[in-house]
Structure 1
Amino acid sequence: MSSGQGRPVPPTRRSDRRSRRRGLAAVAGIVAATALVGGGCYAFAGSLGCVTRGALELNVTVAPELAPAIKAAADRFNGQRHVTGGRCVEAVVRSADPQAVATLLSGSGSSRDAGSIPDVWIPDSSLWANLTPGDGSDGSPAAVRMPQPGFSIAETPIVAAVPRSVRGVGATAPPSWERLLTSGGSKARMPDPGRHAVGLGTLIVIRSVLAGDRDATAKFTGIVRGLRESVVPDVRAQFARGVGDRVLITSEQAVLGHNRDRPAERLQVVRPAEGTVVLDYPYTLVADDEDRSAAARLFEREVRGGQTRQSLRALGLRTTGGTEAAGMGLLPVPKAEDVRQALQAWAKLSLTTRMLSLIDVSGSMIERVPGTRATRLQVLAQASQMGLALQPDDTELGQWVFSTNLDGRRDWRENVPLGPLGERIGSVTRRQRILSALSSLRPKPDGDTALYATVLAAFTHMRETYKPDMVNTVLLMTDGRNDDPDGPTLSRTLAQLRKEYDPDRPVQVVIIGFGDEVDRNELEQLARATHGSVHIAHTPADMKKIFLAGTARRVCSPRC
């Protein structure tokens, strides 16, 4: 039955089969190698080459809240052994506050936190790209071209966070931004606009929602002055100090993180009625070197990938388009000029005030104000008390009263020396001392109004004691006009004010005239000589608006 077992294969035919198999394997190897090289995937050969040529280190700097997701992306990327220019690419991720990096990139300063200029930068917002110096046309430094933001890898809206103890906010209908920032006995807490995009974005929102309002400047000023007292460096500091009963202006991502870590102090996210802006986390290419740019584009693919998007969502961030998909109203993207103007306004409005208050105590101040039982002096004292309430404890304030021959032959008297309101003078603070002095003011029955002499003395005092990091102002409150026959003339007073005024060390004279007997023309000439302003009031109700309007002039000072 040997035929049933089949015939043996001759040795020569077995050899042919083995030869064919070896040949096919060799061809397959050649084809595979050709496909790898031809397809651009030269990881194997490249990885051998980069051992001798060294790695190309791609420096990636990200906003701190992104760090876990982007570092995980870098680990995956580095494990894939990407090669460019014959060198293996190694992505190195570090976190730094975006403001510090923006300062470094714009050429306006350096920062220990930012370190060196990165190849890729992922800040929290595209707004930082607008914070470059001017074009030199106004005397400012020439512009430094900032890298333009790329695609958004994630987003989170700016929202209000309300603790359970604050009742009624957003319970029935979304509140307005103005209500969130100004209502209630507790001031809203916001990150510093000069240091964090949440604060900067909030300024953009305020200016946007107030656009077209007849009292926009005064309202913006009032909101900013209120926020200034409770501003914190960044979002992390908002929660580190404890929430209490404050409304926090922060990011949605920060609220979600807080609620996850501190479930006993959960916060409610309130989305204001007018809409909001988002932090958009742009992937920004900084490097202009060809190899580094190529490496950055390789890393971009990993950042765009599904695993990174999943990691970002796990951190409480929305992936691109998530805010709109959630039905949240978005305000228009601000222009670069709007961003710069908002930050400049903040810088001026949040400067500490240094003010010498001059209060008229001449004989006419004893007259009654029509429709009230108060004297003119009492109305001015009440106005000063309202103005005092607008000032934080680091405001430097002093008080003089004036008439004629009030202190011997001198026409003014110092009631309270100039200094911080929170500073103690004996057993009380300067604020308390000023309040006490205001309540005890009495007119000099036979006194005239030594307006010119007092203004000159106060202006000279403020100029000689000028502090460059403060807004230096003389605030004059009067019900009349100069009637001091022994004092300087108007022309001499104006000439001296113009001679002493220094736009690089500006001291402005701001005047509040009360009643119908003031000489507005006279007051405006005095104020104009120092780029100051004049405000006429007829009722106590006018005073708060006047104090806000006077503060708002900082935005255009000293050119207004």
Structure 2
Amino acid sequence: MPLAGAVALAVLLGVAAFVIFNKEQGCSGEKVTLRVVATPDIQPVISKAADTFTKANHDVDGRCISVTVAKESAAKTAGALQAGKPPAEVWVADSGLWISQLRASAEGASLPETTATIASSPIVLAASAASAKKLEGTLQPSWEGMISAANVASTEGAAKKIRVLALDPAKNSAGLTALLAAAGAAQAAGTDQKALLGAMKKLSREMAADPSALLASLTVRSGAKVPIGVSSEQAIWAHNDKKPDAPVVPLYPTEGTLSLDYPYVVLSPDATMRKAAESFAKELGTDATKKQLRDLGFRTPDGKGGAALAKDKGFSPAAPQALDAPDAKTVASMAQSWTRLNLGTRMLALLDVSGTMALPVPGTGLTRMQVIAQTALGGLGIYDAKAEIGAWSFSTHLDGQGTDYKELVPVGPLGEPVNGVLRKDLLGATLTNIQAKATGDTGLNDTLKAAYGKMVEEYAEDKINVLLVLTDGAGNDDPDGGVNNTEILQYLKETYDPKRPVNLLLIAFGPDAPPGKSRMDALAKATGGEAFIVKNPLDVKNVFLEGMARRLCAPNCDG
């Protein structure tokens, strides 16, 4: 080889070696550090992909990209974004529901839409393997069955055999997704909304802190009831991968389900960061990353699972049928409904003890007073220990001349002691022993004015404030005068404040109730409340649930 050619070859080889060396050692200029925050379940896969990506020296505009990954609950990240403090340039949440809710808020309106999803995991019912075997042949897994079992107003059927455990939908994507799936299935089946509300109310008392805690508690029975929970398919795999003494199996709802979808959201508006994020997104779509996802119990976005979801492990290799995805308005409505429904309760119950309450209710074998007592006792079962409830009785001259009402139990938490007795037990004993005043008339209007004024004065911002009237529906009958019908209606209209609502809920029984319904409706409507006539005391829980439904529309309820 001529000398000139040899020199040229050496130079070319040297340049090539320099380029290769520099490519291995890093790109020119300052590194671009792309921060990613991901939910704990998928974070291990994202971290592994980030290591592979960073070591490959991918670049943007000639600068090497370094990807760091932190794990954080979706609820915490969403809170940071609402506060205007994004914790990273990229967010991998476990569900697009978070994005939907954030984009619906003023603070999150500028959040970009999801451009890609990384994985999926169907939401299913879950039970210990032993419990699932016992339920075979008697109960078919379904959202409809879950609603029936969890309905606070149900005492028979599935409710007698099953205890349903939930995840707080305000903090857990699986919890909110399960509620949306159940609501969608219920709507398709034409199920009464009260049943769903009853289930939501009961589930609010049966919540686990997180998916791991819920799955671990499925082996703990409550009396004769078998515990069943809601979970993502992947969370069940992760639980069983730890080799627990009692493995958990998924129960796939017959109606189909919704899935966690793990959206990849670029939060940074910076052009360089967005290019880096787009480059890293390609790494998450490689066959190697997809295999890692399947190995850890996830499905890829197309629904395909791997050996981790094998049939002999209790899973369905094929993805379950997908329910129609809820739109943003439906998601926001469900989240708001949950929040309103589970606000604390502050309620004063007014019990009619006038002379007519000693009369029988046809077809029941009970007096009106006994029916009212049973109604109130049944209603108490809906409320938890933190609910603040009290009771007055009313007739005429109950507490001295001219005072038509008398405090029986002061308003306060049901779980709080009153003179050494739990308030709930004191209320129960009071209702059991209450008697009608044989010669008493009905000073309803005077009582309403005094009680409503007290509830307005003691209004609790963090609670649903309710004035409950249990009566035979005969209306005001006060020979000594007092507040007349026109005056009480005007008082309620003037005193009601939709920004600080105290709702009037009237429940009536007996033959006098239907003729008095229009009058009761007018009183209730003045406060955004409602009036009901109950023929069977056993229906009372459903009536209370209808009253609770007012929470979902207040202060803009119809009627």
2:92/2:262 contact within 8 Å kept: yes
Instruction: Quote the Cα distance in structure 2 between the aligned partners of 1:353 and 1:381.
Output: 20
CA distance change for structure 1 residues 251 and 436 in 2, over 3 Å: closer, same or farther? same
- How many Å separate the matches in 2 of 1:173 and 1:370? 38
**CA deviation string 1:21-69 (max 9, x = no partner):** 5555656777x699x8xxxx9963993522xxx2211010101111111
Contact 2:121 2:299 in 1 (8 A): yes
Query: TM-score under structure 1 normalisation?
Result: 0.88
Identify which range, 309-318 or 93-102, moves more after superposition: 309-318
Q: Measured at CA, do residues 74 and 330 of structure 1 come closer, stay the same or move farther in structure 2, by a change above 3 Å? A: same
TM-superposed deviation, 1:311: 2.1
Distance, in Å, in 1 between the alignment partners of 2:131 and 2:216 is 18
- Cα deviation for residue 145 of structure 1 reads 2.3
1:428-443 matched pairs, under 5 angstroms: 428-443=421-436
SS at match of 1:132: helix
Aligned-residue offset at 1:233: 3.7
Amino acid at match of 2:292: S
CA shift, 1:526, in A, is: 0.9
Alignment match of 1:267 (pick from 248, 256, 262)? 248
1:304: which partner in 2? 285
Specify the alignment match of 2:313 in structure 1. none
1:455 maps to amino acid:
L
Superposed CA deviations along residues 65-98 of structure 1, whole A, max 9, x for unmatched, are: 1111111111111111222133221111001111
The residue number in structure 1 matching 2:23 is 44
Indicate the residue corresponding to 1:490 in structure 2: 485
The more displaced of 55-64 and 226-235 is: 226-235
Q: Does 1:500 align with 2:476?
A: no
Deviation per CA, 1:448-474: give whole Å up to 9, x if none. Answer: 111111111111111111111110000
CA contact (8 A) 1:124 1:281 kept: yes
Tell me which residue corresponds to 2:90: 120
Deviates more, 1:279-288 or 1:307-316: 307-316
Which residue is equivalent to 1:481? 475
State the superposition RMSD in angstroms: 2.5
Which residue type is aligned with residue 144 of structure 1? A
1:288-307 CA-partner distances (Å, limit 9, x unpaired): 21111111111112211222
- State whether structure 2 residue 237 is matched by structure 1 residue 256: yes
Distance 1:455 1:176, change over 3 A: same
User: Which residue among 228, 245, 263 is the counterpart of 1:247?
Assistant: 228
Distance 1:48 1:27, change over 3 A: closer
Matches for 1:316-395 after TM superposition, within 5 Å: 316-322=297-303, 326-395=318-387
Q: Does 1:402 align with 2:394?
A: yes
Q: 2:125 aligns with which of 129, 146, 160?
A: 160
CA distance in 2 between counterparts of 1:213 and 1:530 reads 33
Q: TM-score, normalised by structure 2?
A: 0.88
Matched residue, 1:7: none
CA contact (8 A) 2:40 2:72 kept: yes
Give the Cα–Cα distance (whole angstroms) in 2 for the partners of residues 316 and 530 of structure 1: 52
CA separation of 1:203 and 1:309: change in aligned 2, threshold 3 A:
same
Q: Is 1:313 aligned with 2:294?
A: yes
**Aligned-pair CA distance for 1:214:** 5.4
Q: Quick one: which of 114, 137, 144 aligns to 2:109?
A: 144
Letter in 1 for 2:110: R
- In structure 2, how many angstroms separate the alpha carbons of the residues matched to 1:543 and 1:300? 55
> Residue 448 in 1 paired to residue 414 in 2?
no
Partners of 2:325 and 2:22 lie apart in 1 by 42
Deviation at 1:385, TM superposition (A): 1.4
Q: 1:414 to 1:43 in 2, by over 3 A?
A: farther
Local SS of the residue matching 1:284: strand
Q: 1:192-219 deviations in whole A, cap 9, x for unaligned?
A: 1111111111121122112155553211
- Measured in 1, the distance between the counterparts of 2:528 and 2:540 equals 21
1:99 maps to: 75
* Matched residue, 1:10: none
Q: Structure 2 counterpart of 1:535, which letter?
A: F
Q: Deviations over 1:489-516 (max 9, x none)?
A: 1111122212221111110001012123
Aligned to 1:531: 528
Given candidates 539, 543, 548, the residue that maps to 2:540 is 543
- Between 329-338 and 185-194, the greater mean CA deviation after superposition: 185-194
**Partner in structure 1 of residue 224 of structure 2:** none
CA distance in 1 between partners of 2:248 and 2:27 (Å): 54
- The 1:429/1:173 distance shift into structure 2, 3 A limit, reads closer
Question: Where do residues 22-41 of structure 1 align in structure 2 (5 Å cutoff)?
Answer: 23=8
Secondary structure at the residue paired with 2:527? coil
Q: Distance in 2 between matches of 1:168 and 1:378?
A: 41
Q: What SS does the aligned partner of 1:443 have?
A: coil
2:204 counterpart letter in structure 1: R
Matches within 5 A, 1:512-523: 512-518=507-513, 519-523=516-520
Counterpart Cα distance in 1 of 2:440 and 2:340: 38
Measured in 1, the distance between the counterparts of 2:180 and 2:409 equals: 39
1:280 is aligned to 261
Kindly state the Cα deviation for residue 370 of structure 1 after the two structures are TM-superposed: 1.3
Flag the 1:215–1:321 CA change in 2: closer, same or farther, 3 A: closer
Report what 2:44 is aligned to. 68
Aligned partners of 2:24 and 2:57 also within 8 Å: no
2:437 and 2:110 map into 1 onto residues whose CA distance is 63
**AA paired with 1:229?**
R
Query: How far 1:188 sits from its partner (Å)?
Result: 1.5
Alignment of 1:147-296 (within 5 A): 147-163=112-128, 164-165=130-131, 168-171=134-137, 174-181=140-147, 182=149, 183-185=158-160, 186-211=162-187, 216-239=192-215, 243-245=219-221, 246-296=227-277
Shift of 1:277: 0.5
Letter in 2 for 1:482: N
The answer to whether 1:413 aligns with 2:421 is no
1:360 deviation in Å? 0.7
Report the count of equivalent residues. 525
Q: 1:468 aligns with which of 433, 436, 461?
A: 461
Whether the aligned pair in 2 keeps the contact of 1:190 and 1:232 (CA below 8 Å) is yes
Q: Percent identity?
A: 34
The unaligned stretches of length 5 or more in structure 2 are: 150-157, 222-226, 306-316
SS in 2 for 1:406: coil
The higher radius of gyration belongs to 1
Q: Give distance in 2, aligned partners of 1:468 and 1:360.
A: 28
Q: Which runs of 5+ in 1 are unaligned?
A: 1-14, 136-140
